[in-house]
Every structure is written in C-alpha cells, then in structure tokens.
Amino acid sequence: MVVFYGLFGACILLRRQGRTRAFWFALPSLVTLAPTVAYYYAIGHSIKPFAARPELFIYPGSPWLATGESTAPAYRRILE
C-alpha cells in the first residue's frame, strides 16, 4: 500500500498542476496509513505487515510450519 501511495504521489508531482493536487492526495493517504501503522505497532510492536513476519506464524501445532528438509532448519532457528 505504501508503494502504491508513493508511486502514485510521484506521478501527481510530475504533472503540471501536481503540487496543488498533491496535498489533496496526501491528506486521505495519511487518513488510511496512520491507523494501519498504529494497528500494526500496537499488535505486533513493529510497523512491518503481519504477513511479512514469518516468526508470527511459527508456534507449536502451527499448520504453517515447513515440513521439507530444505526449509525446516531455518524455522528451527526462529523457534530457538
């Protein structure tokens, strides 16, 4: 989502009347990004999205644990 806002904001700034329109783009962007960042930080103590944090999916009995030999050692290191 941040990448989309950044690229779209850059496209707006490159246009002739972009600077006046950039404010009206940034305002709703902040309204959506600020609560998202606050939620991620309040729950996971990081602004990194939950899906990008494999350590949150590794716990005893988790269906997301890797069973293959090639990836199992990496998950064992996270559990330790």
Under the banding of pLDDT at 50, 70 and 90, the label for residue 30 is confident
Q: What is the residue extent of each domain of the chain?
A: 1-48, 50-80
HEC string of 5-72 equals HHHHHHHHHHCCCHHHHHHHHHHHHHHHHHHHHHHHHHHHCCCCCHHHCHHHHCCCCCCCCCCCCCCH
DSSP code at position 80: -
pLDDT top residue among 61 and 67: 61
pTM for the model: 0.58
**pLDDT for residue 42:** 94
